Amino acid sequence: MNTSRPAQQASFSLSPHMDVVLEFRNVRKVFPGTGKPIHALHDISFRLRQGVVMGLIGPDGAGKTTCLRLAAALLHPDHGQITVLGMDPGREAQTIQANIGYMPQRFGLYEDLTVQENLDLYADLHELSPAARLSRYHRLMAMTGLAPFMERLAGHLSGGMKQKLGLACTLLGTPRLLLLDEPTVGVDPLSRRELWAIVSRLVQEEGTTVLLSTAYLEEAEQCHEVIVLHEGRILGYGSPADFQRTMERAVYHVQSRERRARVLQMALATHPSVVDTVIQGEAVRVILADSTSHTVNAVSTHVPDAFLTPVTPRLEDWFVARLTQQPSREGLPGDDSLEGFPSASSPTSSRDSAHPTIVVRHASRRFGQFDAVKDVSFTVLPGEIFGLLGANGAGKSTTFRMLCGLLPPTGGALRVAGVDLRHAPAAARQRIGYMSQKFSLYRDLTVLQNLEFFSSVYGLRGSTRTARTQWALEQFGLTAWTHAVTDQLPLGFKQRLALACALMHHPEILFLDEPTSGVDPLARREFWRRITWLAEQGVTVMVTTHFLEEAEYCDRIAILSAGRLLTVGTPEEIKERARSDARPHPSLEDAVITLIEADSARS
Amino acid sequence: MTESPGSSASRVVTAPAPRVRAIRLRGLIRKEFLQVVRDPSSIAIAFFLPVLLLVLFGYGVSLNAKHVPLAVVAEKPDSLTAGLTASFRHSSFFDLSVYSTMSEAEQALRAHQVQAIVRLRENMAQAFTSQDGAPIQVIVNGSDANTARLILGYIQESIAIWLEHLERAGRVVLPIPVRIEPRIWFNPEVESRHFLVPGLIAVIMTLIGALLTALVMAREWERGTLEALMVTPVTIQEILLGKLLPYFLLGTGGLALSVAMAIWLFQVPFRGSFGVLAGTGALFLLVALGMGLLISVVARNQFIASQVAILATFLPAFILSGFIFDLKSMPAPIQVLTYGVAARYFVEILQTLFLAGTVWDLILPNAMTLVIMALLFLGLSRWKFRKRLD
């Protein structure tokens, strides 16, 4: 395997000069958890030089936030040394904190204060003189475009605007080191792109050094240096190009004229040289164990009807390849199919557009003066994977709650399997499985107790219940964890358990509300392969996500922005609409940005 | 103000900042007031709840028994029983119902239509003139022991007044050589409102000082605003003062409002000095704020903060301060516990100032205890509060 660690030496070989802004030397951090201590960071070392944008990338629980808080002198290491701007955080925390900028998760804004009042507070805290204040405001307004919103309460801003205000507040003191904790989570792609523009401008014009964390692997490309964190350890450290180089000619698009992408994917996944497969539009993106021509040929002959095209590797490819090498990874029995799960009477091949499973007609939902969802219409066919995409506050959750019958619409109609779930008999609900954002598990019950509870909720009794619980434990690879308390499970396993709980009663329709947020890419892929398998069995899947790349796994997607439906279609159709001469191969992100821009130009 | 990209990274930009800077403190205080004004729950705790409590305790809760429904059973009505019945009827303490049989009266007592029965037996007139005297049976609903004792007292007093009338009319000679002439000092009308309302002020100030402060601080932890604030030039002293000063002002407002309501709305007499009230009030507020800040160091979400604040400050101020329940009639271990309740000292000061006047012998020791407690709690919160998350 050539998916080894990228050139770590490259960053360290630079002489330890004065221009090192932040340095971690064998930093360890342990938190006293309930029961056993949690090792958040294991002997982390890195150096951040002046004017560099460094990204801390990894799933939830990787140690990103702990790293940033240590750098901000908000936490102290249990072992090792940290130097910030040449100072020791243990002794000079106050001076360090006065000279750096830090934006915590969710931006740390006073939501009941206006934009202006938030800025004034931070200007006061930085003791800016009236003249300095004016010029700084002017500059930050130009950067962030907040000027028209000065009198608005911060809590009433969109996610993207909050993010920019949070950033503006931290920038009032002209910090030399900027620490940003997940600045782009839950924010629409346009705002994300704008944030990156601001960051690169700061680096160029003010020489700012930036350390930021993100769960979006594709954002690594925007950084000068990347640290991939996983379970408190540095998995990889280098420039985005370093990561890419190690995966050169090991990533391919595989497309067949005869077989559909999903069928092809299942064939590819069983090949021993294939590390990973993902659906991407009409094609399957495949990561090979190595880039030798021998391996490439072996895979080509395995799928004679398909052709392989090498594609540019991404950080995610490297990450996935790296994670699969880890021995600790608990494999699943065989593939990701769920043996024993009933196949629908009418399989997907006969996708019946005359009898849609979900119908949403002009649905609206107002909260006071605020339109959370406005005139949204779409239909979902049996056996389809339908994605609902949008930033925080776009209306995904509200639409979802209306579909589940948890929230009455203020206008329009929503029908699931022919009934309005608001006054549906239990029998109709019996056909639906639901898995929510926070995984909706009882965290202090064991895995078995959770499974038993959910099966009893769906009316399974006696031997059926015992059999179904056993089925779930086996099929989801949870047998080893049967009596473990749910809270102690790794995130990926919690996600498996949550899906198992939602499937205990073999539903025909599955609602998934941000099912993959925070889990590592491997767990995310495993989850999607299962969902794909379920859809093949005829289960209709409705899923929300703010990961745009996940949209590629859906048959069709609806994109929401500020409560309105921007578009519905297959990922390919939506990309097609954004195609222009300047951009012959737009990504889905490009397409969404084009849509948002066109929409805001209209309104 | 922009820095050139090549500048040396190890240079320290700002010299160690002074501990409290007016401009930063001003910014924090302004922010706090804006939040109070915009947050309905802060306004509710600071203004609505005090008024509600005052009205509730001023009007609703009365430890006096007035208009007690009373049954008089006159088994054989005559002029003697009529006189006694009239004496009950003229008393503002009782609402009278007259029955002719005991069983009817007992039924009324069971149905909670009356609180007590006075039974005048059929042989009363004869027994009245006999050697042994005439026994009058009194039955009181004892489920609320305090009220029962009060009712019993009122009945005895009414009977005594009736006997006195008879004596003056020359119809009987009373064999009572000593007469008690009660004089009740400090609260001559024995109006429970007069000592409840001053005591309530201590409870209200605990609410603003400790509960509200702990809650707003916990909210800052919860929303991550404190985390953002910590990584600025702001100092710990400024963060603490930035909370202390606004809620001190708010508490002073609560004190003024409560005192004004006590004096003008509830007509509670005020016999002490307003200066001493203001001084000791400020002292008690500092204690309450110190407790609130100390709680917020530990409790970093609003739910836990409110639970801790209610259990550790509000409930003790309510129950163990002597504001409503007499401390001396509590079991000894509980009495020991009350010495740790700051409100207890302020309740005593308040009741003294309102009902007795500026009695230094009582006020000084209580005020000194408050000084010690204020120093203890404020000092502890300063010591415990760090610009740190672990």
A51's torsion region: left (phi>0), alpha (psi -120 to 50) or beta? left
Query: What is the band of A520 on the pLDDT scale with cuts at 50, 70, 90?
Result: confident
Q: Which of A155-164, A372-381, B145-154, B242-251 has the lowest mean pLDDT?
A: B145-154
Search chain B and give the residue with CA nearest A76.
Answer: B390
Same domain? For B86 and B138 the reply is: yes
Strands A100-103 and A20-31: what pairing?
A: unpaired
pLDDT at B10 exceeding the cut of 70: no
Q: How many angstroms separate the CA atoms of A120 and A138, rounded?
A: 13
- The answer to whether the Cβ–Cβ distance between B6 and A106 falls below 8 Å is no
pLDDT at A418 exceeding the cut of 50: yes
Q: Min CA distance, B45 vs chain A (Å)?
A: 17
- The answer to whether the Cβ–Cβ distance between B9 and A21 falls below 8 Å is yes
Stretch (H or E) spanning A228:
strand A225-230
Q: How many angstroms separate the CA atoms of B89 and B106, rounded?
A: 20
Q: How many angstroms separate the CA atoms of A450 and A459, rounded?
A: 14
pLDDT digits (tens, 9 = 90+) for A530-553: 888 888 888 999 998 878 878 888
Q: Is A566 helix (H, G, I), strand (E, B) or coil?
A: strand
Same domain? For B245 and B355 the reply is: yes
Same domain? For B223 and B362 the reply is: yes
pLDDT at A414 exceeding the cut of 60: yes
Instruction: Show the tokens assigned to A269.
Output: 């996944």
Same domain? For B320 and B283 the reply is: yes
CATH pick for A249-312 out of 3.40.50, 3.30.70, 3.10.450, 2.60.40 = 3.30.70
A593: nearest Cα among A548, A555, A527, A534: A548
Same domain? For B196 and B247 the reply is: yes
Same domain? For B56 and B74 the reply is: no
Q: Is A466 helix (H, G, I), strand (E, B) or coil?
A: helix
CB nearest A110 (choices: B11, B225, B227) = B225
Question: What mean pLDDT comes out for the span B360-381?
Answer: 94
Residues whose CB falls within 8 Å of the CB of residue A487, separated by 6 or more in sequence, listed in order = A34, A443, A444
pLDDT of residue B246: 93
Instruction: Show the tokens assigned to B41.
Output: 């729950």
Give chain B's mean pLDDT: 84
Is B315 among the domain residues? yes
pLDDT of residue B8: 40
pLDDT at A357 exceeding the cut of 70: yes
Q: Is B182 helix (H, G, I), strand (E, B) or coil?
A: coil
Instruction: Show the tokens assigned to B189.
Output: 């009308």
Longest distance between any two alpha carbons in chain A, whole Å: 77
Query: What is the band of A1 on the pLDDT scale with cuts at 50, 70, 90?
Result: very low
CB nearest A75 (choices: B2, B10, B389) = B389
DSSP structure string for B116-167 = EEEEE-TTHHHHHHSSS----EEEE--SSHHHHHHHHHHHHHHHHHHHHHHH
CB A218 within 8 A of CB A312: no
Bridge partners of A253, per DSSP, are A285, A309
Is B1 among the domain residues? no
Same domain? For B76 and B162 the reply is: yes
Instruction: Show the tokens assigned to A462.
Output: 């006696």
**CB < 8 Å to B21, chain A:** 127
- The answer to whether the Cβ–Cβ distance between B232 and A103 falls below 8 Å is no
CA atoms within 13 A on the CB side of B195: 22
Residues shown for chain B: 390
Continuous H helices in A150-292? 159-171, 189-206, 240-246, 261-269
Question: Is A355-602 the same fold as A8-244?
Answer: yes
- The answer to whether the Cβ–Cβ distance between A102 and B228 falls below 8 Å is yes
Same domain? For B86 and B55 the reply is: no
Which one of A94, A105, A152 would you mutate to disrupt binding with B, by most B Cβ within 10 Å of its Cβ? A94
Same domain? For B46 and B123 the reply is: no
Residues whose CB falls within 8 Å of the CB of residue A51, separated by 6 or more in sequence, listed in order = A203, A207, A208, A209, B5
pLDDT of residue A545: 84
Last residue of a domain, one of B116, B136, B168: B168
Question: What mean pLDDT comes out for the span B216-235?
Answer: 92
Is B14 among the domain residues? no
CB nearest B8 (choices: A18, A95, A100) = A18
Q: Min CA distance, A37 vs chain B (Å)?
A: 14
Q: Min CA distance, B337 vs chain A (Å)?
A: 32
pLDDT at A5 exceeding the cut of 70: no
Burial of A59 by CB count in 10 Å (0-12 exposed, 13-18 middle, 19+ buried)?
A: buried
pLDDT of residue B9: 40
CB nearest A127 (choices: B23, B28, B34) = B23
pLDDT of residue B378: 94
**CB < 8 Å to B217, chain A:** none
Question: What mean pLDDT comes out for the span B242-263?
Answer: 91
- More confident position, B153 or A568: A568
B92's torsion region: left (phi>0), alpha (psi -120 to 50) or beta? alpha
Q: Which of A219-228, A477-486, A546-555 has the lowest mean pLDDT?
A: A546-555
Question: What mean pLDDT comes out for the span B168-173?
Answer: 70
Q: Min CA distance, B389 vs chain A (Å)?
A: 5
CB nearest B227 (choices: A21, A104, A205) = A104
Burial of B15 by CB count in 10 Å (0-12 exposed, 13-18 middle, 19+ buried)?
A: exposed
Is B390 among the domain residues? no
Query: What is the band of A328 on the pLDDT scale with cuts at 50, 70, 90?
Result: very low
pLDDT digits (tens, 9 = 90+) for B304-336: 999 999 999 989 988 898 888 888 888 889 899
Provide the residue range defining the domain that includes B320.
22-60+191-384
- The answer to whether the Cβ–Cβ distance between A19 and B3 falls below 8 Å is no
Q: Domain segments of chain A: what residues?
A: 8-244, 249-312, 355-602
Q: How many angstroms separate the CA atoms of B217 and A125, rounded?
A: 18
- Token pair 């990504």: residue: A587
pLDDT digits (tens, 9 = 90+) for A85-119: 999 999 999 999 999 999 998 888 999 999 999 99
Torsion of CA B193, B198, B199, B201, to 10 degrees: 120
Continuous H helices in chain B? 22-38, 40-43, 49-55, 79-90, 102-110, 124-129, 145-168, 193-206, 213-223, 225-230, 236-260, 274-298, 302-309, 315-319, 332-338, 342-351, 360-384
A206: nearest Cα among B227, B219, B1: B1
Q: Which of A222-236, A330-344, B125-139, B342-356 has the lowest mean pLDDT?
A: A330-344
Q: How many angstroms separate the CA atoms of A459 and A448, rounded?
A: 16
Stretch (H or E) spanning A317:
helix A315-325
CB B213 within 8 A of CB B293: yes
pLDDT digits (tens, 9 = 90+) for A267-282: 888 888 888 888 777 7
CB nearest B1 (choices: A72, A132, A204) = A132
Is B318 among the domain residues? yes
Is B255 among the domain residues? yes
Which one of A27, A105, A121, A206 would you mutate to disrupt binding with B, by most B Cβ within 10 Å of its Cβ? A121
N- to C-terminal Cα distance for chain A? 53
CB A100 within 8 A of CB A178: yes
Q: Min CA distance, A77 vs chain B (Å)?
A: 10
Same domain? For B141 and B49 the reply is: no
Q: How many angstroms separate the CA atoms of A2 and A290, rounded?
A: 6
Vertex A427, ends A421 and A433: CA angle to 5°? 65
pLDDT at B268 exceeding the cut of 80: yes
pLDDT of residue B12: 46
**What homologous superfamily is domain A355-602 in, according to CATH?**
P-loop containing nucleotide triphosphate hydrolases (3.40.50.300)
Residues whose CB falls within 8 Å of the CB of residue A22, separated by 6 or more in sequence, listed in order = A47, A48, A71, A82, A83, A84, A85, A177, A209, A211
pLDDT digits (tens, 9 = 90+) for A551-571: 888 999 999 888 899 999 998
CB nearest A127 (choices: B24, B231, B388) = B24
Q: How many angstroms separate the CA atoms of A489 and A61, rounded?
A: 12
pLDDT at A8 exceeding the cut of 50: no
Vertex A563, ends A561 and A569: CA angle to 5°? 55
**CB < 8 Å to B16, chain A:** 94-95
Query: What predicted TM-score, i.e. pTM, was given to this entire model?
Result: 0.81
CATH number for the domain formed by residue range(s) A8-244: 3.40.50.300
pLDDT of residue A94: 92
Which one of B7, B35, B230, B232 would you mutate to disrupt binding with A, by most A Cβ within 10 Å of its Cβ? B232
Query: What is the band of A237 on the pLDDT scale with cuts at 50, 70, 90?
Result: very high
Give chain A's mean pLDDT: 85
N- to C-terminal Cα distance for chain B? 34
Q: How many angstroms separate the CA atoms of B291 and B296, rounded?
A: 9
CB A250 within 8 A of CB A291: yes
Instruction: Show the tokens assigned to B346.
Output: 């302020």
Amino acid, res. A503: L
pLDDT of residue A2: 43
What b/e string do you get for B306-338 counting C-beta neighbours within 10 Å, with b at 16 or more? bebbbebbbebbbbbbbbbeebeebeeeeeeeb
pLDDT digits (tens, 9 = 90+) for B17-75: 557 889 999 999 999 999 998 888 888 888 888 888 888 887 776 666 678 888 988 88
Query: What is the band of A315 on the pLDDT scale with cuts at 50, 70, 90?
Result: confident
pLDDT of residue B281: 95
- The answer to whether the Cβ–Cβ distance between A99 and B35 falls below 8 Å is no
- Chain B residues with a Cβ under 8 Å from any Cβ in chain A: 1-14, 16-17, 21, 23-24, 26-28, 30-31, 34-35, 38-39, 223-225, 227-235, 387-390
**CB < 8 Å to A166, chain B:** 228
Count other C-beta atoms under 10 Å from residue A324's C-beta: 16
Stretch (H or E) spanning A132:
helix A130-144
pLDDT at A429 exceeding the cut of 60: yes
What b/e string do you get for B80-98 counting C-beta neighbours within 10 Å, with b at 16 or more? bbeebbebbeebebbebbb
**CB < 8 Å to A21, chain B:** 9
Q: Min CA distance, B103 vs chain A (Å)?
A: 57
pLDDT digits (tens, 9 = 90+) for A54-80: 999 988 888 999 999 999 999 999 999
Same domain? For B101 and B236 the reply is: no
Q: How many angstroms separate the CA atoms of B115 and A164, rounded?
A: 70
Instruction: Show the tokens assigned to B91.
Output: 């008393």
CB B202 within 8 A of CB B300: no
Bridge partners of B73, per DSSP, are B99, B119
Q: What are phi and psi of B8, to 5 degrees?
A: -65, 135
ipTM: 0.80
- Token pair 């593939």: residue: A335
Is B5 among the domain residues? no
CB nearest A85 (choices: B4, B9, B38) = B9
Same domain? For B118 and B210 the reply is: no
- The answer to whether the Cβ–Cβ distance between A69 and B389 falls below 8 Å is yes
Q: How many angstroms separate the CA atoms of A538 and A518, rounded?
A: 28
Is B343 among the domain residues? yes
pLDDT of residue A344: 62
pLDDT at A6 exceeding the cut of 80: no
Q: How many angstroms separate the CA atoms of A576 and A210, rounded?
A: 36
